Structure 1
Amino acid sequence: MKIVIIGGTGLIGSKLVAKLSERGHEAVAAAPKTGVNTLTGEGLADALAGASAVVDVSNSPSFESQAALEFFQTSTGNLLAAEAAAGVGHHVALSVVGTERLISNGYFRAKIAQEKLIEGSSIPYSIVHATQFFEFVRGIADDATDGGVVRMAPVRFQPIAGDDVAEALAGVVLGAPLNGRVEVGGPDQVRMDTFFREALAVWDDPREVVTDPHARYFGSELEERSLVPGDDARLGRTRYSDWPGSK
């Protein structure tokens, strides 16, 4: 089966291409560096010719509200139109757990707009909501740093390995369209402040982690379950302590 991965040269996309190829599928990495640009439409028709499914794991290069909105609306609109013309039978998109709970954040509002375009299209679809990737936890700590202090809210946190996200996407795209959403998260749910206090200790990072109920996550205050999936989420197998990048 030919499956086109939009954003296929990035972190999750490259892992997904490898997993699908190992299973005998024709996995096509589509990205500007391979001649496919969803913002301009360049290369889309050729890339999608003969494709049974498309997985969109691309991301806005900017997290600024208007820039992210323009990216997702333009890119997703062009992609869905090209899929309809090519007869693609399954559109899979990667999104974020808690998007609908963080509407004060412009980036998450942009993701909601993307999902509405997908839901309103003629293409059968599946939307995968994932929690934060292990690969990004150092960036989360850096964004929460003020001087030598990392401020973290005492809320639930359930990060997941990028490999496990790619595995979940592979399972979804090879199945029947859900015409709905599925959530994926890591195997362990912990308090966010506790996670980062322990992680920084392992990193030998001298910054102090301070528990602050009003600490902001990329500009947004968090509630107890803002970042974690529901009880029926699909869970990854890799624990953070076992992940090679955790040290």
Structure 2
Amino acid sequence: MSRSVLVTGGNRGLGLAVARALAADGDRVAVTHRSGPAPEGLFGVECDVTDPESVERAFKQVETEQGPVQVLVANAGITRDGMSVTMSDTQFDEVLQTNLHAAFRVARRAVMPMLRARSGRLVFVSSVNALRGSAGQANYAASKAGLIGLARSLARELGPRGITANVVAPGYAHTDMTAAIDEQILAGITAQIPLGRLAAAEEVAAAVRFLASDAAAYVTGAVLPVDGGLGMGH
């Protein structure tokens, strides 16, 4: 059956790859975006995930268009990199607000109809750096690590109602974000990856697709790395 899916930050990068993969399976997929047009073939809703009123408006639009959200992919995220000793409170707080607080906010809103239906899928997009840390990204790593604790708490709370909560932890993938990294730095990162390459966005999307599927009905509270082996041992 076609499900109602919402992917936050689904207008580009990994989020777009996830949205397209689920749409290809026949799901009705909505994506949040802050500006510009929605991707072709997807239902777009303008939403600032850090604003509770904007989130509520977005959910109402999605519910009107395609019904209550049955699968939520919390993907929206930002970076504000800098060494910890010089990182401002604003840099730290902005990343936590967008990457962690907002994920909690959209999950809380999505869960209400899921509880009534006694069914639902929550998938949080974290990062390999949540597990291994990253110099210059204390704010980002902390926010992405927080998603793991959030998902596992929700898994315990919501499991009795048939709702699963899982985490995908991607490594470095071919996106606009990695395209902006200096070539020498990117080469150094690639050299640390056992598989010797960056991921395709579609490979990350495949992991999300699995966790959102019926095949993962007995998987909850899990962290699924898609990082080419970069985070092994963490």
TM-score range, shorter chain: 0.5 to 0.7
**Contact 1:8-1:17 within 8 A present in 2 as well:** yes
| Alpha-carbon distance in 1 for matches of 2:187, 2:143 | 26
Task: Choose 1 or 2 for highest CA Rg.
Answer: 1
Amino acid at match of 2:21: K
| Alpha-carbon distance in 1 for matches of 2:59, 2:97 | 21
* Partner in structure 1 of residue 181 of structure 2: 140
SS at match of 1:127: strand
For structure 2, list consecutive stretches of 5 or more residues without a partner in the other structure.
Answer: 36-44, 82-90, 159-163
1:184-195 equivalence runs, <5 A: 184-186=226-228
**Contact 1:97-1:229 within 8 A present in 2 as well:** no
Q: Are the structure 2 counterparts of residues 153 and 117 from structure 1 closer, same or farther at C-alpha, using a change threshold of 3 Å?
A: closer
Amino acid at match of 2:29: A
Which one of 112, 118, 126 corresponds to residue 166 of structure 2?
Answer: 126
* Partner in structure 1 of residue 220 of structure 2: 178
Shift in Å, 1:3: 1.3
**Contact 1:37-1:44 within 8 A present in 2 as well:** no
* Partner in structure 2 of residue 72 of structure 1: 99
Pairwise CA RMSD of aligned residues? 2.8
* Partner in structure 2 of residue 84 of structure 1: 111
* Partner in structure 1 of residue 85 of structure 2: none
How many residue pairs align between the two structures? 186
State the TM-score, normalizing by the size of structure 1: 0.64
* Partner in structure 1 of residue 231 of structure 2: 228
**Contact 2:79-2:140 within 8 A present in 1 as well:** no
**Contact 1:156-1:228 within 8 A present in 2 as well:** no
* Partner in structure 2 of residue 25 of structure 1: 27
Query: Percent identity, aligned pairs only?
Result: 14
**1:43-81 CA-partner distances (Å, limit 9, x unpaired):** 243135522110111112534433212322320221122
SS at match of 2:6: strand
- 4+ residue stretches of structure 1 with deviation over 6 A? none
Could you say which structure has the higher helix fraction?
Answer: 2
Shift in Å, 1:162: 1.0
1:1-247 equivalence runs, <5 A: 1-33=3-35, 34-41=45-52, 42=54, 43-46=57-60, 47=62, 49-60=67-78, 62-63=80-81, 64-87=91-114, 89-102=120-133, 105-121=138-154, 122-123=157-158, 124-135=164-175, 136-141=177-182, 144=185, 152=188, 156-157=192-193, 158=195, 159-174=198-213, 175-176=216-217, 177-186=219-228, 227-229=230-232
**Contact 2:148-2:223 within 8 A present in 1 as well:** no
State the TM-score, normalizing by the size of structure 2: 0.68
Amino acid at match of 1:38: V
For structure 1, list consecutive stretches of 5 or more residues without a partner in the other structure.
Answer: 145-149, 190-226, 231-247
